[in-house]
Amino acid sequence: MACAGGCPFSIYMKGYPMDIPARKQIRLAEMIQQRLRVHHSQRFAEVIRRTCTLLDNVAGLRRTTDLLAICIGRGWNAAADKTTERIRQGLRDLPYYASEVERFIEACKTPVPPVKDIVAELQQADQEFDQLRYIEESDLLAITVGPIELEDIFLGEFEIQLHLPSLSEVRRPHAIYRIVALDPHPPACNDSVTHPHVSDEHLCEGDAGAAIHAALTNGRICDFFQLVTAVLTTYNSGSPYVALSDWDGRPCYDCGYTMASDDSYWCSSCENDFCSECISCCSRCDESTCRGCLEECTVCGELVCPSCKTTCPDCGRMLCRSCLEESQCPCIEERQENEENQDDSEDQEPCTVAGEASESLTGNSGQEQDLAASQAGVEAA
């Protein structure tokens, strides 16, 4: 029996025991080769697309140059200066677009590997990683890595899943594979990060990105798994999603900053953890309290925690317990002023009554004298 590449079947299996059946290996290799052929044809399409982009920019430069000629002819020096700057910026972009076209032209020169080479890669991956699994319902090739421990931080086991139909992708290389945590140990601040270089099951490849993509596009399956494993088992402190030093820390409830366990402060009122920038304290009991739980006393203006604040039973004002115990509420002074005003008014009332009585008596005496004089005049007549 011969394979698609013209090699005897015995050559495929000699010395490479795998859990994947022999016929399945060949079918997998043929599937991978077919997707790589599609990928290879898409490279030509990318050459056309990126060349058109380059030509569009050149055409734009030509239009800008024509505009510059008009500005010069009409003596618009200010407009000519701006147009010249646009030409300079357009010229700066041309090398990038040209290099992109050249990059894809070079990629087109890479041939699609024969089936026998792809099968050899599958067998080598199985030897390298003990077991290479094929998940048929999802068209995934998967290996297990770990358990991984970096700088005394236990991260658990990870499964590298290669989605075979996505090998034809040119514009979305990150959709080709995923890193799945089998026993997640995420940091306290972000559940979507399962590894310093893995977020939402996507790997931050760093400097290994070009090598990983080259291995995939050339059908070097074993090299792909080795490169990804090397990234997972190495810690780069310069570009982690979450630094290992902050892995066991806690996020500040207010600003989200990741704190070490010894640097966090607990608010006794809302029972949350805060960083040193977001924590404060009660001016009365000195208890650590977040700023959101502190409230200003309407009398003394001090910030107090919920345990140290109260309300005046008479007027309902919010004030601290110290001000209430010392009778500092403004309503007390207002009540005293009202009582004093009432006492003054009561003291003035007897004088007023006496004056009115005197005036009444004086008025009556005068009336009696007038009446007596009238009677004396009548008698004389």
Residue 127 in domain: yes
Instruction: Examine the domain organization and report whether 63 and 92 are in the same domain.
Output: yes
pLDDT beyond 50 at 209: yes
Q: Model confidence at 240, in pLDDT bands (50, 70, 90)? A: confident
Instruction: Examine the domain organization and report whether 163 and 67 are in the same domain.
Output: no
Using CA atoms, how far apart are residues 297 and 122, in angstroms rounded to an integer? 73
Give the chain's end-to-end CA distance (angstroms, integer). 172
pLDDT (0 to 100) of residue 310: 78
pLDDT beyond 60 at 365: no
Instruction: Examine the domain organization and report whether 219 and 140 are in the same domain.
Output: yes
Q: Report the number of distinct structural domains present in the chain.
A: 3
CATH of residue 301's domain is 2.10.110
pLDDT (0 to 100) of residue 340: 64
| Residue-wise pLDDT tens digits, 112-158 | 888 888 888 888 887 787 777 888 778 888 888 878 888 888 888 89
pLDDT (0 to 100) of residue 17: 40
Instruction: Examine the domain organization and report whether 133 and 231 are in the same domain.
Output: yes
Among 325, 348, 373, which residue terminates a domain? 325
Domain that holds residue 76: 16-111
Residue 6 in domain: no
| Residue-wise pLDDT tens digits, 343-353 | 556 556 555 54
Q: Model confidence at 204, in pLDDT bands (50, 70, 90)? A: confident
Highest mean pLDDT among 83-92, 166-175, 234-243: 83-92
Instruction: Examine the domain organization and report whether 233 and 281 are in the same domain.
Output: no
pLDDT (0 to 100) of residue 124: 82
pLDDT beyond 70 at 212: yes
Instruction: Examine the domain organization and report whether 173 and 132 are in the same domain.
Output: yes
pLDDT beyond 80 at 231: yes
Instruction: Examine the domain organization and report whether 231 and 140 are in the same domain.
Output: yes
pLDDT (0 to 100) of residue 13: 35
CATH of residue 158's domain is 3.10.110
- Strands (E) across the chain are located at 133-135, 140-150, 153-163, 177-181, 193-195, 198-199, 202-203, 250-251, 258-259, 265-266, 273-274, 279-281, 288-290, 295-296, 303-304, 309-311, 318-320
A 10 A CB-CB count for 34 gives 17
CA distances to 49, 52, 301, 313 from 97, rounded to whole Å, are 11, 10, 64, 77
Instruction: Examine the domain organization and report whether 44 and 104 are in the same domain.
Output: yes
Among 64, 82, 111, which residue terminates a domain? 111
pLDDT (0 to 100) of residue 344: 59
Of 5-9, 94-98, 242-246, 309-313, the least confident:
5-9
Instruction: Examine the domain organization and report whether 99 and 46 are in the same domain.
Output: yes
CB of 178 closer than 8 Å to CB of 192: no
Q: What is the mean pLDDT of residues 205-221?
A: 83
Question: Which candidate, 201, 186, 199, places its Cα nearest to that of 258?
Answer: 186
Residue 91 in domain: yes
Using CA atoms, how far apart are residues 379 and 369, in angstroms rounded to an integer? 16
| Residue-wise pLDDT tens digits, 318-341 | 778 778 777 777 777 777 676 666
